[in-house]
A and B are shown apart, each in its own frame.
Chain A
Amino acid sequence: MEDKTLAQRLHIDIPLLFGSLILCGIGLVVLYSASGQDLNIVLRQAMSMAIALLLMLAIAQLPPEQIERWSLWVYLFGVGLLILVLVAGHVGKGAQRWLDLGLFRFQPSELMKLAVPMVLAWLFASRRLPPTPGPLFVSCLVIVVPVALIAKQPDLGTALLVAAAGFSVLFISGISWRWISTLTIFMALAAPVLWHFMHDYQRRRVWTFLNPEQDPLGAGYHIIQSTIAIGSGGLYGKGWLNGTQSHLEFLPERSTDFIFAVFSEEFGLMGVLLLISIYMFIIIRGLHIAISAQQTYGKLLASALILTFFVYILVNMGMVTGQLPVVGVPLPLISLGGTSVVTLMIAFGILMSVHTHRRMLSE
């Protein structure tokens, strides 16, 4: 025990910490440009990041067993809050997502990004892997209920991420490829049903994604302008604060969901490759943590959280580059918005907890 480093004693994973700190740094730099050099916005985001960092460190102190024990209660608490939101939530930007807690507003759906993989990992960890049909059916319910509640708010982006988190657990837990293909087919069949329940604006987004040029000044505007921003960035970019697309307000949502377009315009392909490298470094580190975890719960949860992190990146970049429909998914740690930063950092905290609480004895 004496040979533990300071980092290990503080339950900090250095690569993850540095990776996320660099991302936060990049995020603040880009945000300064994207917000039209509004220092207030940057400071507020930095505050959120600081709080998130503290939360991350706090969570890292908890042993994974503790987290595992809380899993079910966190999940049930989260679903309860989701129902509460539907009944008494705060309506913002046309969607009912917020719960006003006086001091701050809280988005229960964010919690589900953590709670769903937690409860599934808990569910599978105590059983033999791969899961048998019984627990598998339960796990499907566990995923569908919050996803449906979140989609109804409506918040397609978060619903998608929650579903991805849940599905990651299923995938890592080793469900057979037959099950995977069955699920895929089921989802394909569910698409028309989903379409039926979609809001008009959501349907329009899908249409626009399929054919953005048909309405260049209307719904297709976002996608067209963001591809112009990215494409005009070229190899080396236009330079920090010099992105014309973003600064001349051609780019919508440029501080939040479309911040990647600002980044690409100003820093070019080189900058983008660097950013992706950092993301990949964190993902690979996360997968490494998952593999080297001693408990099944830790393995499943860590890999699910890091894969969700990847889905964040994939969906956001795919959307901004015009490869996926526009769903509100932020670019992790770069986009403006405290909630997603907090969630992501807590996830990193869990990863750290999984990694730093390993016991050395069972060698």
Chain B
Amino acid sequence: MPVDFVFKDRAEESRLVKRRVFVAGVIVILLMSLVVLRLVYLQVLKHDHFITLSQNNRVKILPIPPIRGLIYSRDGVLLAENQPAFSLEIIPERVENLDVVIKELAGLISIQEEDINRFHRLLIEKRRFESVPLRYNLDELEVARFSVKKHLFPGVEVIARLYRRYPLKAETSHVIGYVGRIDDTDMSQLDTSNYLGTTHTGKFGVEKAYEDLLHGEVGYQQVEVNAQGRILRILERTPPEPGKNIYLTLDVSLQKVAADALQGKRGAIVAIDPNNGDVLALVSSPSFDPNPFVNGIDTKSYQELLESKATPLINRVLQGKYPPGSSIKPFFGIAALTFGVRQLNQETWCPGWYSLKGSEHRYRDWKKGGHGHMNLKNAITQSCDVYFYSLANDLGITRIHKVLTDFGFGSKTGIDISGEVPGLVPSAECKREVYHQPWFPGETLIAGIGQGSTLVTPIQLATATATLANHGKLISPHNRQVSIYDLSHWNEVINAMIDVVHGDRGTARQSGLNAPYKFAGKTGTAQVIGVAQDEQYKKEEIPEELQDHALFIAFAPADAPKIAVAIIVENGGSGSRSAAPIARQLFDHYLLNQHSDSG
């Protein structure tokens, strides 16, 4: 720049600069005051607001889920345990491209399409910062393979969690049930505050029935977290109260015998202690392995279970509705004596069929030639149908309904496993109300031999048998006396049932041979299809699923009952051949293997 001579008024310039510096100084002070005002606003006026925000930033309250209680059998066998297992979990918030990451992970460990589908399902339910499991049950090799490359997968972690496991698998599944991931329906029924942090809840069986006991109380910890949500230290901790361990009345060894007896068959077995209603064995066959259900069974396997003709998911003990057949007869025997409709030795002539007055229709006895003269005892022992046709006719449907209802048929027994169905005890009123049809006398006869519309569940049959063994004392959960009956007659019926297994002509005498104890029983053979008047029931010509159901109810020892059972073998043919031998096995096991004094 060329510098020409300029006249400079130094004093004037100095004043100008001074003025400007003053102005600048004022501006500086004004602007600085604004900053100070802002700071006063933030630090004094809004201090409470921000201190709360910073606390919220810093302190998080995290639930600590309680450890679920274990389930043992009465003989101390572990039926449901908590097993640590590794799962691969992803925190969606911290992963930029889920699909890419999953694809990369699949290169390290096996990830099936099923896993990915489940992952996406859970992803919708969870919040962005909650970890979502991608794979369960990683084996050690997979854990190691991932751990080496872990730094490449931020937001992906291997987490060890406790998972429910059922060591006896299918053998106890219908009793224990299983736990599964909490879904929306569960959430609406559960105390949400107590289930913060809990992932699984009982879905069926004992797991569901005793959820409150098994779950325990949630604990809390106040933790200090950093911006990444990582826990830095624990400020305060309220420990969770672990779920209670529970002991079932179930006798696992007896359960095994029962399960083995039904191996490969369809059917149900219940054994209860008539003294207190303890369920000793409960088998519904076929069964299923509950373990895959814990973390969500894959759709294909579930479909297979669901669509199987053998319906393994149905608990036959509670949900199977069967005609009781002749197994119902002892209960009518009690009624006959109590209501005075029959005397003990009053005989009925059995020609092999029975007809109502003024009707040509012949109601056939299972024994073609007839049983001849039959008193009550013989009628029970030999399961004479004609005697009970005639008895039913004299009792009438109203009293039949009363007798069956009193023994607990037609209503839920109240067993502590959910899903029970009430079955059906026929009555004239019911038929009129529901079907708007009159009651026919012939239906009463059919009801007399446990056929027709009467439907019972195995648990009802077992409970009723226990009641019989108790001389009318209905066991828990009902816990009430059947007081209207004259208790002096009970022994007669029980003696008849003893003869069923130990008498020369008893229908189940094969099963009672050489038993070192006496037991009482009654066979039943329930028809699945009606047989026309002139037809013969020919087993060989009938497809399996239409063959008769085999039933047997029994208790032992007969004089001081300790176990009462109801056994149903679907399409098993006759009760004496298919069902009664199982009862003998159960009794032998239970009474002769030191189990007589347990419980």
CB within 8 Å of B: which residues of A? 72, 123, 126-130, 168, 171-174, 225, 227-235, 244-245, 248-250, 264, 268-269, 272-273, 276, 279-280, 283-284, 287, 290-291, 296, 299-300, 303, 307, 310, 313-314, 317-318, 321-323
Contact = CB atoms under 8 A, between A and B. Distances in A.
A291 B22 CA distance: 9
B187 interface: no
Contacts of B232: 248
A249 B227 contact: yes
10 contacts: A231-B51, A233-B43, A245-B54, A249-B226, A283-B25, A299-B14, A314-B32, A322-B38, A323-B35, A323-B38
A248 B225 contact: yes
B21 interface: yes
A264 B39 contact: yes
A303 to B, nearest CB: 5
Nearest to B54: A232
A317 B35 contact: yes
Contacts of A307: 24, 28
A129 B6 CA distance: 11
B113 interface: no
A171 B13 contact: no
A259 to B, nearest CB: 15
Given A287-B25, A317-B35, A232 B53 contact: yes
B227 A248 contact: yes
A229 B54 contact: yes
A299 B47 contact: no
Contacts of B225: 248
B505 interface: no
A163 B1 CA distance: 22
Contacts of A249: 226-228
A264 B43 contact: yes
Interface string B5-44: 0111100011011111100110011011011101110111
A231 B46 contact: yes
Nearest to A230: B42
A233 B41 CA distance: 12
B131 to A, nearest CB: 18
B224 interface: yes
Query: Which of B28, B49, B227, B232 has the largest count of A CB atoms less than 10 A from its CB?
Result: B28
B32 A235 contact: no
A323 B34 CA distance: 10
A134 to B, nearest CB: 11
Contact of A171 (B24, B31, B50, B224): B24
B256 interface: no
B3 interface: yes
- Which residue, A174, A268, A300, A313, has most C-beta atoms of chain B within 10 A? A174
A234 B53 CA distance: 13
Contacts, number: 144
B17 A296 contact: yes
B263 interface: no
A329 to B, nearest CB: 14
A46 B225 CA distance: 32
B258 to A, nearest CB: 59
A6 B9 CA distance: 34
B57 interface: yes
Contacts of A127: 6
B6 A126 contact: yes
Given A230-B50, A276-B35, A321-B35, A284 B25 contact: yes
Contacts of B57: 225, 228, 244-245, 248, 250
Task: Count chain B CB atoms within 10 A of each CB in A264, A273, A321 and give the residue with the most.
Answer: A321
Contacts of A269: 39-40, 43-44
B58 interface: yes
Contacts of B9: 128
Given A248-B232, A276-B32, A231 B43 contact: yes
Contacts of A322: 38
Given A172-B24, A228-B53, A314-B35, A126 B1 contact: yes
Contacts of B227: 225, 248-250
B35 A174 contact: no
Contact of A128 (B7, B43, B46, B224): B7
Nearest to A268: B43
A327 to B, nearest CB: 16
B47 A235 contact: yes
Contacts of A283: 25, 28
A174 B20 contact: yes
B58 A248 contact: yes
A128 B6 contact: yes
B39 A321 contact: yes
A174 B16 contact: yes
A130 B17 CA distance: 9
